[in-house]
Amino acid sequence: MGRLKIHLLGPLPADFPKSPGAELLIYLTARPGWRSLEELRLVVPDLAEALKAIKNTPYDAYLEAQGTELRLNVDSDLLEYWEVAYRDLDRVRALYDELAKGFKSPIPAFQTWLEKEREETLRGLWGTAVGYAGYLADQRRLDEARATLAEMEAAYPLEPRTALDLADLYWRMNLPEDTARVLLAVRDRVHERVRPRAELNLGAALIRAGEIERGRALLEALIETEYDERYWALLHLGGLEALTGAPEAALARAREVRRVAEEVGEADLYLMSLLLEGEALIRAGRTKEAAARVLPMALGFQEMQGRPFSPISLALLAEAQALWGKGKTRAKELAEKAFRRARELRDPYGASRALWAMHLATGEPGPLEMARIEAEKARHAPWEAFLKQAGV
């Protein structure tokens, strides 16, 4: 007897038995190997009726029993699909279709399992696509990455869990509009456990895309919760306030976050709070305090942690020194170092901040124009507006 291959991706074969035999065959094909009767009864309670429905069908010959276990000794396109998932996007796309497409079971327990399994299969497709697009982005093949993702979005529905990873990738590619669009599409379907992360990222993306009030409202709602994401929301709001004429509010948010970060030992929060505090001091005209105390603390903390200096930390210190007026030569050197570091990281926002500091240190108009070009690449609406106003 040859090996039978069952196709579960797409409509079921025409010779599939009626319910509950169909349910048993689907489950045993999707879960290859020996399965206990106890497990099977959780999704197909009337096993006797299911076995009766399979009797005298082409599948009966492949159904095997061993004590209190059953297995369906077949191959399937679903198994083939999972063998190439996360490795070969072209092959995954060629194989993918909805699991048991069009089939709806009268058995509630089975239908619940089937819906979860369908989502998991879709997740495999999207996980493969996001992984491949991320590889392209890391290779600086951004146009190819965007084309791949656009094609996927046009052809397949989003799966909530991988949609969060997709949004993260769009953010990393400096595409806040796409980040926000994806998060809005799955916002009501993400698990409550990850909803705060989704709300945080959505609010930040909307602000960066220029939908300031909409993004601000989301972040302000988040800071009223008890989720840890509230502290990152405070930083995002503070960053906005520092650039839009409310530096004292930004300073208060930075110090609140720093206090919490010191209490719980959260290194990333601590560093970002120092950087926000430094920027808020600069915008408030307290450049000596920023240049001589807060921003050196940020660089010292990175050094103590064994981290390379971030472009933003170098650029902010350069800006503070240039505005303080007691270290313009050093400010220029720091700005150049920040720019080189940003280029290494392919970070247009960091590059723009470095070029702005260079403009302040040298007084030359060229770096300001270049800063505006990099800001446009970064798709950072508040920073673009700040630079535009700076040239007035």
DSSP character string of 273-298: HHHHHHHHHHHTT-HHHIIIIIHHHH
pTM: 0.90
Q: What is the b/e burial string over 211-245, where b = at least 16 CB atoms within 10 angstroms of the residue's CB? A: bbeebbebbeebbeeebebbbbbbbbbbbbbbbbe
Q: Which tens digits make up the pLDDT trace of 161-193?
A: 999 999 999 999 999 999 999 999 999 999 999
Residue 392 has pLDDT above 80, yes or no: no
In the block, tokens 């007691």 appear at 326
> Going by DSSP bridges, is the β-strand pair 69-72/63-66 parallel, antiparallel, or unpaired?
antiparallel
Strands lying side by side in the sheet with 69-72 = 35-36, 69-72, 63-66
Residue 1 has pLDDT above 60, yes or no: no
Residue 326 has pLDDT above 80, yes or no: no
C-alpha 384/C-alpha 275 separation (Å) is 19
Q: Which tens digits make up the pLDDT trace of 339-381?
A: 999 999 999 999 999 999 999 999 999 999 999 999 999 999 9
- Which residue from 109, 100, 112 is spatially nearest to 43, judged by alpha carbons? 109
State the pLDDT at residue 105: 97
CA distances from 355 to 114, 319, 340 (A): 55, 10, 10
What average pLDDT does the segment 141-146 reach?
Answer: 96
Q: How far apart are the first and last CA of the chain?
A: 83
Residue 2 has pLDDT above 70, yes or no: no
Residue 63 backbone phi and psi in degrees, to 5: -90, 125
Q: Which DSSP string do the residues of 210-237 spell out, in sequence order?
A: T-HHHHHHHHHHHTTSSSTHHHHHHHHH
User: Helices (DSSP H) in 55-141: which residue ranges?
Assistant: 77-84, 89-95, 108-138
What average pLDDT does the segment 179-208 reach?
Answer: 96
Q: Which tens digits make up the pLDDT trace of 68-127?
A: 999 999 999 999 999 999 999 999 999 999 999 999 999 999 999 999 999 999 999 999
DSSP 18: P
Residue 76 backbone phi and psi in degrees, to 5: -155, 155
Report residue 135 as tokens: 């590889």
DSSP 9: B
Report residue 131 as tokens: 């992984």
> Going by DSSP bridges, is the β-strand pair 75-76/5-6 parallel, antiparallel, or unpaired?
parallel
∠ CA 109-113-117, nearest 5°, is 170
